[in-house]
Amino acid sequence: MKKVYRRPKSLKRAAFHYCPGCGHSIVHRLLTEVFDEMNIQDKVIGIPPPGCSVFAYHYLDIDMAESAHGRGAAVATGLKRAYPDALVFTYQGDGDLAAIGTAETIHAANRGERITSIFINNAVYGMTGGQMAPTTLSNMKTTTTPYGRDTRLEGYPVRMSEMVALVKGAVYIERTAVNSPANIKKTKKAIRKAFQAQIDDLGYSLVEILSPCPTNWKMNPLESWQWVENEMTKEFPLGLIKDATRTKDSTGKRDAD
């Protein structure tokens, strides 16, 4: 018999430190599958965040550098400006990208930095023990919303991707999930498109990925995968949010919308 599925080449042989059922490692795998398929493993530079994925460099066999919390887009900007031949991506949690990193993300996108952001939306601060994230659902309990997120005091789940879509330098934005075979495959496609937009020198690309966090949601893995489907996608509808890759030529002269 033929081996039809094997570990991607760009994925190091290390045991993931993530909790059982966590979405982070799926996204890691998809990234490395894309690197292998596009043959860009030796051009890619990744910027992982403080967050559960802080150790991403233990798994992805590419050049990587840690960034300060929320500053991925700024670090990637500096790196890409200094060395435009690289393919630079940030890997960021929802606390990282949508709270402390709001300004960096929006302005890097607006400048049309030729970088890609992989944005893991798990509706909580995973690493620090399950505090409210900007993306925490209304009434959802977290360690800092012990009585449920009260939208009157704590605000509403922030749809960061829709917001970023408003700036012209962002050329490709899609929201996917890693909670089913079909969604996982779509996520991979989206990641591929995002890197392609960067290779084509078009502008900023972002893939928001709804990702289960069974530990902080206090569910078993399967429940958490279902919760993504049943609850999260209601607030964060899956699908393409913006695609200006066709209307925009690579000189960037034409506007994206």
Q: Which residues bind a second copy (CB under 8 A)?
A: 99-103, 106-107, 110-112, 134, 151-156, 158-159, 162-163, 166-169, 251-253, 255
Selected binder of ligand SF4 within 10, 77, 90, 215 (CB under 6 A): 215
- Give the nearer residue to a second copy in terms of CB position, either 39 or 251: 251
> Least Å distance between CB 62 and ligand SF4?
21
Specify whether the CB–CB gap between 90 and 73 falls below 8 A. Answer: yes
Q: Show the tokens assigned to 128.
A: 């620090």
| 208 binds Mg ion, rule: CB under 5 A | no
Please tell me the distance from the alpha carbon of residue 183 to that of residue 210, in angstroms, as a whole number: 10
Given a second copy, ligand SF4, ligand TPP, none, residue 240, with its beta carbon under 5 to 8 Å by kind, binds none
Listed ranges 71-79, 125-133, 165-173, 217-225: which one lies at the site for Mg ion (CB under 5 A): 125-133
Pick the stretch among 19-27, 35-43, 109-117, 232-240 that binds ligand SF4 (CB under 6 A).
19-27
CA–CA gap between residue 145 and residue 71 (Å, rounded): 25
56 vs 241, which CB is nearer to ligand TPP? 56
CB nearer to a second copy: pick between 153 and 182:
153
Which residue type occupies 116?
T
- The burial of 238, by beta-carbon neighbours within 10 Å (0-12 exposed, 13-18 middle, 19 or more buried), is given as buried
For ligand SF4, which is the closer residue by CB, 48 or 214?
A: 214
> 240, 191 in Cβ contact below 8 A?
no
Tell me how far, at minimum, the Cβ of 64 lies from other proteins, in Å. 5
Q: Which of residues 40-99 bind ligand SF4 (CB under 6 A)?
A: 52
Residues in contact with ligand SF4, total (CB under 6 A)?
Answer: 11
Bridge partners for 38 per DSSP: none
Q: Which is nearer to ligand TPP, 105 or 245 (CB)?
A: 105
Interface region with Mg ion, contact rule CB under 5 A, candidates 63-71, 120-128, 153-161, 226-234 = 120-128
The pair of structure tokens assigned to 153 is: 């005091």
Tokens 């909670």 sit on residue? 179
Q: Which H or E element spans position 33?
A: helix 24-38
For ligand SF4, the binding residues in 115-154 under the rule CB under 6 A are 122, 126
**How near is the Cβ of 10 to other proteins at its closest, in Å?**
9
| CB of residue 166 to other proteins, shortest distance in Å | 16
Query: How far is residue 154's CA from residue 112's CA, in Å, rounded to a whole number?
Result: 31
Contact predicate 130/215, CB 8 Å: yes
- Answer whether 139's CB lies under 8 Å from 153's CB: no
Residue tagged 């890197």 (tokens)? 195
